[in-house]
Structures are given as C-alpha cells and as structure tokens.
Structure 1
C-alpha cells in the first residue's frame, strides 16, 4: 500500500523558528537572512509579539510593500508601535542604506495574497499578487516623501474610538515631512462642523476618491464643508444618503397616490445640494443621492453640472421624482449615455408620463449593465414600452422591474399573484422576441405589514406575511 507522509519543515523554516526563540540572536542575523524567509518569520514575530524582532525586521524588509493590514484582524497597539518604531529608525537615516526597499506601509486589509504565497495558505486572488508587485500609486500628486502609508476608509463616527488608528494619525502628523498618509474614502456622519474640520485637516484631501455623506446638515454646516470638498481633486464617487427604510416606503405607498411621501428634509438644506456638486473640479464616476427630495430648480441645476458628464454609476434610490419635470433627468441620461453602466431608479415614484419622457434617452445608454427600476407604480402598458426600449441594450446583465399596478388591490396592500404570473409570462415572451435577457427580476412594492418585497426570478418568493 502507498504510504502517506508529512513533508518535514525545510531547514530555512527551522532556522527561522530558532531565531525567534532568541531575539538577541535573531536581530543581528537579519542582515544575512534570505529574502524568502522574511514573510513567514515576520508573521511568527507579529503573532507572537516579538516586538524587538519586528522593529528590526521592518528596517531590513526586502520588499517594496509591507501589507500589515492583512495581519491586523485583531489590532494590537503594542505590536503596531513596534512596527512604527522600525519605520522611525528608517526615516531617521540621513543616508539610505542600499538594503532599504520598503516604500509602502499598507494598513488596509486588502492583500492577504502576499502572506498566502509565503505561508502556504490558499491564494485568494492570484491576479492581485502580480498587480501589487510594484508600489501602489497614490492619487495625491507631487509627493516626494520616501514612505507612503495607506489606511482603510475612515468614518467620522469611530475614528476617535479606534486607538490604533488614532495612534497612526498622531504618528503620521508628527512626521508629515517624512511620509505621506493616504486615505481614499471617507464616510461623514452628522457632526459639528468644527469637529469635521479637525478630522479633515488630518488628511491629504487630494487623495480622497470616495465620499459618503449621511446626515441632515443645515446651510451653515454645508457651507463649511464646501471648501474641503473643492480640494478633493481626485474625487470620483460622491454619495448623499438620507435614511429611508422600506417599511416607511410601504406605509406611504398604501396611501392615496394623490399624496407625495412625507419625508422630512431640513428646509435650510433644500436647494443647496447644488453648492456641493458645483464646487467639484473633476468629473465624477459615481453619484448616489438616496432618500432625498429635490425641488425642481435644484434638480435641474444638479443634473446639468459639468462634473456629471462622465458618470458610470447613477443611484437615485428613494429620490421622489413624482410631480417633477422629467426633462433634467432626460438631459442627464443623454449626456452620460456613452459612459453609464449602472442606473438605479429604485423607489423614485416615477409615473407613466415621466417614464415616457426619459425612455428615448435610456434607449441610447448602450453601456448599461445594471438597471434597477423597482418600486415605481407604473402601468402594464408603460412597463411593456420600457422593455421594448431596452432592445438595443446588449450589455444588460441584471434588470429589476416593478410589478405593474394592475396586479395590486386598489389600496396596494395586496397583490393578485395569478394575475401577476400570467402578466409576467406575457412580458417575458415579449422581451424574448426582442432579445435574450441574462437575468430579469420583477418585484413588488414593500409589504405594508413587514416591509419586505416579494420578487419573481425563476420562482416566486413572497414576503413573510
């Protein structure tokens, strides 16, 4: 019979384990340590808390990038300090040693592949390893510092609560002439403007590519934020979020359609969203404005901003369009038809008449891959017309449509499933005569009792009620 056996540790691995048992021996030996032994030895020193060895290994690190964030699943301040102490000793050198390879300290949890290759773990994304062999570009321009430090996206709610992050901030601030701290995304919750300024002034605004704002700011706070937004010259994605749940939508949907949803927005903020959009100096790739209530002049101003002309993603989930002139949205779709890949018009209260205005522009968005139109109470005729206008959109991989209003009771509290299934079969047949859909989903409005939506993909799925 064939004998199974376990491959014994290599001599290099045994040597590394022996070094860690005697830090006094390990540190001088790093000068002669083979390159391939650094990652496994570093992992052992990191998890074992060998602070002196870690500090010395950082100074002798033979790769351009140290992806520390992938090891810090349970952050330990003392271990982090040991790593930063090693960087301090490197930065203090007036003449750089020829062995100094390290250019990037990456504190994001994005590159477990590096450690996988040296430890024998399964490699999660092989292509990512080849892409990370060179030093990652930073959006900030003109940086001459010898070291770049990348950190995860920041949230204003918890940046003071994370002691490791707070320590990195303070450490980097004291060495800003020697290193460059790069953060590419921030999430801003409602907070006093002076606190926000203190937060933003710790960052290089040139590096920020993605901003999410979750608040009901008044005009004073908004005006205070505009100068900082204008400095974000690498900004690509801008998301405005006002909380609005499916349960709330369901409650309003069950009301008479002659009423608009009663969503509170600070009246001082109304008509000032344009102030933020207009200050941008570079075109956006992604814009999300969710749960908002536009005034008609504001919608026209925002949608016609020059920074909107190259959007790849437009998310207007929960933006109430009922009763508004659809022409600005039509013109925006015409302007971005060549680039738009994702369009989310979920729960916008679009009417039949409004849909008929924007359909010609929508039919020219030939790069569109994802289209979400659920939660709009349109008729069967309008839905059929919408499907016909998607005939030339060959890139569509996911389409989500609303169940037409003929399938509901008069108060929208109940859905007639047999009527819907018959209608759905007829609509699918019409669509298949025009093109072959890759994935198409029909959804109901949220249930007025539990707030969940029922959907029909391959099989119907009801809500919990």
Structure 2
C-alpha cells in the first residue's frame, strides 16, 4: 500500500483561494501571514498575474525571495511581480500591511518556499532560512527604499537572463541598486541607469567585471547626484585610468557617506588621484580600502588628507605594501613596525580616529587579521 501524504490545511486554503481571483485580491488585507507564502506559490505556478501584482503591494514580510521560484521563469508572472513593485514604489503612501524592503533574486531553490509555506519534508540549509526567521520578527518596520539582490548561476538559460533583465529595467522608481556578481552587466551599465527616473541613494555593484565605459557612464549619470553609498567591492579597477574614479567621486562629494573600494586592485596612482576629492567629501562616515596594494607613503598621505573629515568615524585600510616580501609573504615584525609609525602619525594629527589595518587573509586559516589603531587626542 502506498503512503498517502495529505496536504496541510494552509495549502488547501491557498489552492482554493487562488481559484477566485477577485476574492483572493480583496482578502489580502485580512489573510493571516502564514497563508501568504503558499498563496504566492499557487498564484506563481498558476500564472495568476493580477493576484501576484496585488500580493506584492500587500506583502507582509521584509523579504520576497522570488529567486527560489525562478528556475523556469515565465514572462507573464515576472512581469506581474515587477508591475506590482512599480506601483508600490510610485506610491507616496504605502499600504498599511506592506513591509517589503528586499526583492531577493538568489536561486535558493523551491525547497526554500516549501519550507516557508509549512512543508517540513523539505529542509533547506539553515543559512537560507535565516532571512525568513528575520522577516517573521520584523513586520513592524516601515517600508524603506527597495533593495534589487540578485545572482546568476551558470545553468540559467541565456535567453531567460536577457528576458529577465529587460523586465527589471521597468523598475523606474528604484532608490537602492544592489547587485552581487551580475555576469550580464559588463558593458551594459548605461542601459540599466538610463531607464531610472529618480535619484539613487545607494549603489552596490560587487564581484563583477565592468568596463571603463561603464565607469564613465556611472560618473556622468544624473541619478547619482544624491548618492549616499557607493560599493564597488571586488570590481577590478587596476587598468582603469585614475581620473575616472576621481570624476565619479567629484560628482558625489557633497552627499557621499559610505565608500567601499575593497579588493578593487587599486594602486598608489589611483589613490593619489582621488586624495584631493576624498578630502572634500564632508559627509563621509565610512571609508574602506582593504585588499588593495598601497604603499606606506600613500597610506600616510591618505591619513593626512582625510584628517579634516569630522564625520569620518570608521576607516578600514590594507596593511602597507612594505609589510610583504617580494613573494607576497606577510612579515609580522615589519607590519608591527609600520603600525607603530601609523600610530605616531595619528597621534601627531591629534584627533581620535577609529582605524583598522587588515593584511591579506591568513594563509593558514583564511581569516582576515585586523589591527585597531585609535590613539587618544
């Protein structure tokens, strides 16, 4: 006799509700939160576009993990979700129940949704379930600018990727642009920026390839006139002209609060080119340059140029280039000597500063080793 696994009542309720589109939409305000994930799954698989559009605008969690349902995306369903987001972002007064802050496009797999909707036979990794637990406990938070998280896997069909990117360009009210490892972005950043109608507050494009043309377009884009955060972590700038980064920072010097250029392949000539404009970033609070090859002389110059930035409260720098041998081996004694010199420079400048100096990851454990320098005035 074969085993029989009956569906849970919450799943049966979702399957029943999705059959009546008008009823499903008008009931969203009153549905228990536990019913939202299974109802969304049923609407997505059944291609009920109007229900999806309405659900996005009433989503009671901080995160919508759409990527877990997109192994075989359908244009109509993705279109409906993006239409719902467009309407939501355009509204001056957001629906009372909506808590959506993050559209997560990572491929977490459908097991993620099965677990979220209550099917305990499907158990994803605890790391994937962590955002769900967080969402359940943070529903009282107001809606903040939407954040676009995406990753592209090799098995995704190229044509589906092009189709998806053409749809995501329709989010004309985007405030935060955050992209991790977008393989399709190289040489196409301008196509993504020119469709936006409002100013961006944060740009995070990490661990991907960009061209000089991409950086030029970014620096010329009017949408960055109010930029507060710029994160290019893992974007190699080694062979780029130094003035490109200088022009970009000049454009945002009046508003920039956080700058992350970790692991960008920045050399001394890049940093020397941007030192003058860095000293004029009066709102800068966080500056991170870890993982770049910078000499002690340039690092000293950096400390002096940024000394007048009263808002600067956290600085993360790489260990000076002189800390390493010609083979890239870290010399602890030499690093200690250079740390003492940096300490003297900070003491001489006379203002308390929170500075971390981090060498490359330890060859034994792979962890970053950080050293805190914060002399008293």
| TM-score grouping bracket, smaller chain normalisation | 0.5 to 0.7
CA separation of 1:106 and 1:372: change in aligned 2, threshold 3 A: farther
The Cα RMSD (Å) is: 4.1
Larger radius of gyration: 1
1:429 and 2:344 matched: yes
- The structure-2 alpha-carbon separation of the partners of 1:190 and 1:78, relative to structure 1 and needing over 3 Å to count, comes to closer
Displacement of 1:356: 0.6
- Counterpart for residue 457 of structure 1: 372
CA distance in 2, matches of 1:387, 1:187: 42
The alpha-carbon distance between structure 1 residues 179 and 291, as it changes in their structure 2 partners (threshold 3 A), is closer
Aligned counterparts of 1:271 and 1:439: Cα–Cα separation in 2: 37
Instruction: Work out whether 1:405 is the aligned partner of 2:311.
Output: no
- Structure 1, unaligned stretches of length 5 or more? 1-75, 109-148, 152-161, 244-264, 460-465
Deviations 1:414-459 (A, max 9, x none): 2222221222122123123335344211100123454322111279
- List per-residue Cα deviations over 1:210-263 (Å, max 9, x = no partner): 2022126898556433442332133111122129xxxxxxxxxxxxxxxxxxxx
* Greater than 6 Å deviation, 4+ residue runs: 80-86, 190-194, 216-219
**Contact in 1 for aligned 2:56/2:85 (Cα 8 Å):** no
Whether the 8 Å contact between 2:260 and 2:289 is mirrored in structure 1 is yes
Judged with a 3 Å threshold, the aligned counterparts in structure 2 of structure 1 residues 236 and 352 are, in CA distance, closer, same or farther, namely same
Q: 1:403 to 1:171 in 2, by over 3 A?
A: same
Identify the residue that residue 56 of structure 2 maps to in structure 1. Answer: 181
Change (3 A) 1:388 1:451: same
Matched, 1:205 2:85: yes
Matched, 1:348 2:264: yes
Report deviation, 1:304.
Answer: 2.1
Q: How many pairs does the alignment contain?
A: 302
| 2:330 corresponding residue in structure 1 | 415
Unaligned runs of 5+ in 2: 1-6, 90-145
TM-score by length of 1: 0.55
TM normalised by structure 2 equals 0.67
Q: Specify which of 282, 293, 296 is matched with residue 198 of structure 2.
A: 282
Q: 2-side partners of 1:178 and 1:444: how far apart?
A: 48
Q: Is the 8 A contact 1:363 1:392 kept in 2?
A: yes
Correspondence 1:322-333 to 2 at 5 A: 322-333=238-249
CA distance in 1 between partners of 2:52 and 2:332 (Å): 66
> Is the CA contact (8 Å cut-off) linking 2:181 and 2:207 kept in structure 1?
yes
How far apart are residue 294 of structure 1 and its match? 1.9
**Distance in structure 1 (CA, Å) of the matches to 2:149 and 2:257:** 20
Whether the 8 Å CA contact 1:402–1:444 is kept in 2: the answer is yes
For 2:221 and 2:10, how far apart are their aligned partners in 1?
Answer: 48
Partner of 1:313: 229
Cα deviation, residue 303, structure 1 = 3.1
Contact 2:355 2:373 survives alignment (8 Å): no
Shift of 1:199: 4.2
Task: Within 5 Å, give how 1:96-135 maps onto structure 2.
Answer: 107=33
